[in-house]
Amino acid sequence: MARATYVAGVTVFDGHRLRRRQGVLIEDERIEWVGPHVRAPRESRGARSVDGAGRTLSPGLVDCHVHLNFDGGADFAGEAAGMDVALATIKATANARRHLANGVTTVRDLGGLGTCALAGAIEQGVVPGPRLVAAGRALTVTGGHGHNVAFAREVDGADDVRRAVREEIKAGATAIKVVATGGVLTPGIGATFTAFTPSEIGAAVDEAHKWGRGVAAHAIGGEGVGHAVRAGVDSVEHCVQLTPAVARMMRDQGTFRGPTLCAAFGMLEHPAEVPDYAIEKIRSVIDDAERSQAVSLRAGVRHVCSTDAGTPFNPHGGAPRELARLVSWGMRPLDAMVVGTSSGAELLRVPDIGVIDVGALADLVLYDANPVDDIDALQSPRTVWKGGEVVGGRAPGVRSAG
Ligand SMILES: [Zn+2]
C-alpha cells in the first residue's frame, strides 16, 4: 500500500462550499478522512505532510467539452484535412497530459478519433491523462457542421441516428454528441442553421439513455437549441441563442449549459490568423452569446465548464480560463467553482469525483490563493493529484514527516 498523504490546515472547497482550517487524508487512490485539522486522525501522523496553511484545496476540474485530436492552431479545417486515426490518436495522447498540468483531472471529448481507445489506455495506466469520457465520432446531418472533419459522421433519419448511436457505443463511446445546428468552424454553413429534426434528436437521446450514456448537443441557433432541450439532451454546448422560456425549461429539466467562451474568444482575439468565414460567423453571434449568458443566469440554468479545447487559440488545459470567462460574464466565483467541479461530475456521470468527501477519489488541486477570492488563482495550480498520485502542478509541496 502506498504511503498516505495528509494536507494540513487547508481551506477546502469541497465542490459546493468553503471550509477553513481543514485536514484531508489521502490513502491510496481515495480520500480517507476530511475534517477540522485540530481533530486530525491518528493515521495522519505517519503520513506525508503537505502544508496547506493559506492555501486552498479543490476537487480536480472537469472540462465537459474538448477535442483531443486538435492542438488549438489557427486553422481548424486545415488541421482536420491531414488527420488519420493514427495521427489523431497521437495528438490526443499528447493533449491529454496538458489537462493534468492545469489541474483538470476529468474531460469529455465530444468528437474524436482514437479517443475511446485512449480512454482505456489512460484507465489502465498505459499513458498519463485525465479521466476521459469519450463520445467517439459526433453525429451530424449530411453536409452539416463537421462533415469535413473525420471525427464526425453524417447520418440522416431517426432510424439511422439510432443505429449510429449504437455503433458508437459498440465502438466504446461513453457519451453521445449530436450536432443540432450549423457551426462556426465549418465553411459553407450558417452558424445558426437548424440541422437535425426533433425526431432525429429524440431518437439519439432515447437510444443513448437506454445504454446509460449522456447526450451533448452542439447548438448555436435558437430553433436548434429548442429542439435539443425539448428532446431531453443532458447538455447544450455553446447554447448561443436562448430565450427565457427555453432557459426556464432547461432549469426545470436540469439540462446543463456549456457556453464555451474560450472557443469564442480564441477566435475573436485573433482575427488576422483565423479564417475569415469563422471570424464573420463568431462576430455575428457573440452579442447573442452574452445576452443568453445573462438570460440563463437569471433563470437559474445550471452550467458546466466546456472549453471546446482544440479550436483556434484554445489550447488544452484551459478550464481555468473558461471559469474566469464565466466570472467576467456575471457568474459569482463560488458558483464558477461549483460549475468546474461537482456540476461537471454530475453531468458526466463519473462516480466519486468532483467533491472532497470521505470515499471520493483523490482527484485534487492545491492552490496558493483562494480561487473564490480570485478566480485567476486557478491558472497556477501548486499540486495536482489524480487518484492520490501527484500528476501536475509547479511545486509538489510534499515533504516527509518522518
Ligand atoms: Zn466542440
Query: DSSP code of 69?
Result: T
Quickly state the pLDDT bin for 399 (edges 50, 70, 90): very low
Per-residue pLDDT of 243-281, as tens digits, reads 999 999 999 999 999 999 999 999 999 999 999 999 999
CB 110 within 8 A of CB 140: no
| pTM (2 d.p.) | 0.97
Quickly state the pLDDT bin for 68 (edges 50, 70, 90): very high
Mean pLDDT to the nearest integer, 295-312: 98
- Ligand 1 center from residue 293 Cα (angstroms): 18
Quickly state the pLDDT bin for 139 (edges 50, 70, 90): very high
CB 302 within 8 A of CB 251: yes
C-alpha cell at 386: 489524480
- Ligand 1 center from residue 174 Cα (angstroms): 16
Which string of DSSP letters, residue by residue, matches 106-166?
EEEESS-SSHHHHHHHHHTTSS---EEEE--SEEE-TT-TTTTSTTEEE--SHHHHHHHHH
- Ligand 1 center from residue 183 Cα (angstroms): 9
C-alpha cell at 134: 469519450
- Ligand 1 center from residue 51 Cα (angstroms): 39
CB 260 within 8 A of CB 266: no
Q: How far apart are CA 52 and CA 5, in angstroms?
A: 12
- Ligand 1 center from residue 145 Cα (angstroms): 10
**Residue 398 predicted with pLDDT over 50:** no
- Ligand 1 center from residue 252 Cα (angstroms): 25
Per-residue pLDDT of 184-202, as tens digits, reads 999 999 999 999 999 999 9
- Ligand 1 center from residue 260 Cα (angstroms): 8
Mean pLDDT to the nearest integer, 365-376: 97
Mean pLDDT to the nearest integer, 309-321: 98
- Ligand 1 center from residue 45 Cα (angstroms): 46
Phi and psi at 272, nearest 5°, equal -75, -30
Q: Which of 157, 117, 115 is nearest to 139 (CA)?
A: 157
- Ligand 1 center from residue 124 Cα (angstroms): 26
**Residue 1 predicted with pLDDT over 70:** no
Query: DSSP code of 37?
Result: G
Q: How far apart are CA 350 and CA 347, in angstroms?
A: 8
